[in-house]
């Protein structure tokens, strides 16, 4: 239908409403750092789900700690620590239905835990042992078709257009699902973010964009990542509602994501969620944050710890006692230690995986190169030369 672009007029009030400035600038929060409810209305969440949120965050933190240790032990090539950011992964994931898909990034172990991927599978992947479903071609990333989690990407934000394309596929197929993608504040500077929001905005696709704003993209602070007043306002230009939530408040992340998923499934289009959090650790195990930020800053941010805050809430509300919380922690701590022992004792992948899965079939060049490798293996054996 033809529409004269010069005929449409908005009043200033309309424009302000359109900008939804309050939501995109303020900070939506349900529990404060002392575990008290600050929102007008506390969401009605069943106790089981609250417990799931808690154990998922605890398990994520324990596993994260182990991955850090395993990297120092030389068992894992690289790790991107999740500590302090567990509420974003866990809150957003648990807000979805089981048919919804997630396109996470490499700092989202909580997504896998909350979706029911076992610690063993995550460790196998990160160690790249014989049981690694990704067969040792890339580090830190993971995905699981069974759990409807797409593989994360190492180039930052490259999964954003994939999530949008996937949502377009669901729309064409008539499948009513939501597609959630998570990425860091640094990813908002890359083209894929704008391309993804633009496309989703035009076609009103069922996508939830979650910016895990942890304040740092390696050494570059969020304020050097954008001139915008917040990251959530970036939705405005694409006609995508933006909401800024306390990303260290698992209930706030959960509630906002739940609402966004409902919008997506109802055909109301995409939503942008800025989850404000803080990266407590380094960017990866190859990074040294003392070179660019003060220990005072990190210390000051500790009082916002998402797990400590949620524990206070659970105790305040009488869901769990301090003793019960400790028991849950100890139980998982022991379990995961056992799993770690099991995973590091599994044998490595065979060298021939290098030649696998490059194409759907092995073309002559790789056949020739595989043969070349086998010949070199003979020589290595004969001469007693060890490689690796």
Catalytic residue numbers read 279, 283, 292
Which of 21, 39, 45, 195 touches other proteins by CB under 8 A? Answer: 195
CB of 347 to other proteins, least distance (A): 16
DSSP output for 338-357: HHHHHHHTSPBPPGGGGGSS
**Are 144 and 121 in contact, with CB atoms under 8 Å apart?**
yes
Q: Would you call 160 helix, strand, or coil by DSSP? A: helix
Q: Alpha carbon of 318 to those of 53, 94, 312, 315, 324: distances in Å? A: 16, 22, 10, 5, 11
Residues 104-143 that bind other proteins (CB under 8 A): 132-135, 137-138, 141, 143
Number of Cα atoms under 13 Å in the Cβ half of residue 269: 16
**Are 60 and 82 in contact, with CB atoms under 8 Å apart?**
yes
**Options 17-25, 48-56, 63-71, 355-363: segment touching other proteins (CB under 8 A):** 355-363
**Options 71-79, 147-155, 223-231, 313-321: segment touching other proteins (CB under 8 A):** 147-155
**Options 255-263, 270-278, 317-325, 351-359: segment touching other proteins (CB under 8 A):** 351-359
CB of 230 to other proteins, least distance (A): 24
Which of 80, 95, 123, 163 touches other proteins by CB under 8 A? Answer: 163
Please write down the HEC assignment for all residues of 97-154. CCCCEEECCCCCHHHHHHCCCCHHHHHHHHHCECCCCCCCCCCCCCCECCCCECCCCC
Paired residues of 172 in beta bridges: none
CB of 244 to other proteins, least distance (A): 26
**Are 180 and 101 in contact, with CB atoms under 8 Å apart?**
yes
**Options 192-200, 264-272, 281-289, 301-309: segment touching other proteins (CB under 8 A):** 192-200
**Options 41-49, 59-67, 227-235, 349-357: segment touching other proteins (CB under 8 A):** 349-357
State the number of binding residues for other proteins (CB under 8 A): 45
Q: Alpha carbon of 135 to those of 85, 126, 308, 343: distances in Å? A: 28, 10, 37, 15
The reply to whether 262 sits near other proteins by the rule CB under 8 A is no
Which of 2, 98, 363, 388 touches other proteins by CB under 8 A? Answer: 363
Report the distance separating Cα 310 and Cα 87, nearest Å.
Answer: 9
Residues 202-221 that bind other proteins (CB under 8 A): 202
Nearest residue to 79 (alpha-carbon basis) of 115, 107, 45, 119: 107
Nearest residue to 154 (alpha-carbon basis) of 60, 263, 52, 283: 283
The reply to whether 76 sits near other proteins by the rule CB under 8 A is no
Which of 49, 218, 229, 358 touches other proteins by CB under 8 A? Answer: 358
CB of 280 to other proteins, least distance (A): 28
CB of 167 to other proteins, least distance (A): 7
Which of 52, 55, 189, 198 touches other proteins by CB under 8 A? Answer: 198
The reply to whether 154 sits near other proteins by the rule CB under 8 A is yes
The reply to whether 240 sits near other proteins by the rule CB under 8 A is no
Crossing angle (nearest 10°) for helices 250-265 and 47-72: 110
CB of 358 to other proteins, least distance (A): 5
Nearest residue to 54 (alpha-carbon basis) of 261, 303, 314: 314
Contact positions vs other proteins (CB under 8 A): 132-135, 137-138, 141, 143-145, 150-151, 153-155, 158, 160-170, 172-173, 191-192, 195-196, 198-199, 202, 353, 356-360, 363-365
């Amino acid at each position: 239908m033809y529409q004269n672009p010069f005929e449409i007029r908005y009043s200033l009030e309309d424009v302000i409403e359109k900008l939804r400035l309050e939501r995109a600038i303020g900070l939506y929060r349900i529990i404060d750092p002392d575990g008290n409810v600050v929102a007008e209305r506390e969401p009605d969440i069943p106790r089981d789900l609250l417990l799931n949120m808690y154990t998922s965050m605890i398990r994520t933190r324990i596993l994260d700690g182990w991955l850090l240790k395993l990297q120092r032990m030389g068992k894992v090539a690289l790790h991107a620590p999740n500590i302090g950011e567990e509420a974003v992964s866990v809150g957003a994931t648990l807000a979805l239905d089981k048919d919804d898909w997630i396109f996470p990034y490499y700092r989202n172990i909580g997504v896998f835990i909350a979706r029911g991927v076992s610690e063993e599978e995550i460790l196998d992947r990160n160690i790249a042992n014989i049981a690694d479903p990704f067969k040792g071609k890339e580090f830190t990333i993971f995905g699981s078709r069974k759990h409807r989690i797409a593989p994360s990407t190492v180039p930052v934000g490259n999964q954003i257009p994939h999530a949008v394309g996937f949502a377009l596929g669901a729309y064409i197929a008539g499948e009513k699902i939501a597609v959630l993608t998570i990425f860091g504040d640094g990813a908002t500077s890359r083209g894929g973010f704008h391309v993804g929001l633009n496309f989703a905005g035009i076609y009103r696709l069922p996508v939830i964009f979650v910016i895990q704003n942890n304040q740092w993209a390696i050494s570059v602070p969020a304020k050097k990542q954008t001139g915008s007043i917040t990251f959530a306002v970036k939705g405005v230009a694409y006609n995508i509602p933006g909401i800024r939530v306390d990303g260290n408040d698992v209930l706030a992340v959960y509630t906002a994501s739940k609402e966004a998923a409902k919008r997506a499934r109802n055909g109301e289009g995409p939503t942008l969620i800025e989850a404000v959090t803080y990266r407590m650790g380094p960017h990866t195990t190859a990074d040294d944050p003392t070179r660019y930020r003060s220990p005072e800053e990190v210390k000051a941010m500790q009082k916002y710890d998402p797990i400590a805050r949620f524990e206070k809430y659970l105790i305040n509300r009488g869901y769990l006692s301090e003793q019960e919380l400790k028991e849950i922690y100890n139980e998982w701590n022991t379990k995961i230690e056992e799993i770690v022992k099991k995973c590091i004792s599994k044998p490595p992948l065979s060298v021939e995986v290098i030649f696998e899965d490059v194409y759907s079939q092995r073309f002559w060049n790789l056949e020739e190169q595989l043969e070349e490798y086998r010949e070199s293996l003979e020589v290595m054996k004969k001469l007693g030369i060890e490689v690796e």
